[in-house]
Amino acid sequence: MNPPLIGIPRTLALLKQCWNAAELRVCESVSQHFHAHDEVFITRLLHGKLHEEFEKKNSSKQFETELRGDLTEAFQKDGVGRDEIQRVATGVVARVTYHEPHVERKSGGDLGLMVCRPQVSRHIIRQYLSCRLHRQGLLCQGKREHRDGSLGELTKNQRKVLPERHS
């Protein structure tokens, strides 16, 4: 039986902060410089900005720090030491993957964002943590807002493929 997923609110808050910053930068760029470009260009721009945000946080090890805080909150009261928590959190980074059109046709998404949530269990006798990663993917489909406020429609293929990927 798999250990339960632990909450990682600090880590996810940092992920959301990166997303919001990237989205804001894209909106500013599109309104100032790229208002005539299509969804593919804007999606690539979002991928680039999100990648930049993640790399800033990765280089300063902020995802590692936030996961360490989440693990500390979950396990320190159980006597798990800092070194053990650090071991599990070391090397955690965020990445985003752009889906080229041939991949999007299969996946239905413009961007793939995978969150690997830790399934951590504490071994009572030796006080160490066993960690497996539970992968949860998020497919992102960008749609451009037109000047009249309407959004682009899903393509026929997206309407077909996305429901299959819903779970």
Q: What is the pLDDT of residues 22-62, one digit of tens each?
A: 999 998 998 888 877 777 888 889 889 999 999 999 999 99
Q: What's residue 4's pLDDT?
A: 61
Q: What is the pLDDT of residues 85-138, one digit of tens each?
A: 888 888 888 888 877 777 767 766 677 777 666 666 666 655 566 666 677 777
Q: Total domain count for the chain?
A: 1
Question: Does any domain span residue 47?
Answer: yes
Question: Does any domain span residue 108?
Answer: yes
Question: Does any domain span residue 114?
Answer: yes
Full domain range(s) for residue 19 = 9-165
DSSP label at 146?
A: P
CB 147 within 8 A of CB 135: no
pTM: 0.75
Question: Where is pLDDT greater, at 156 or 122?
Answer: 156
Instruction: State how far the alpha carbon of 74 is from the alpha carbons of 5, 7, 13, 99, in Å.
Output: 11, 8, 16, 35
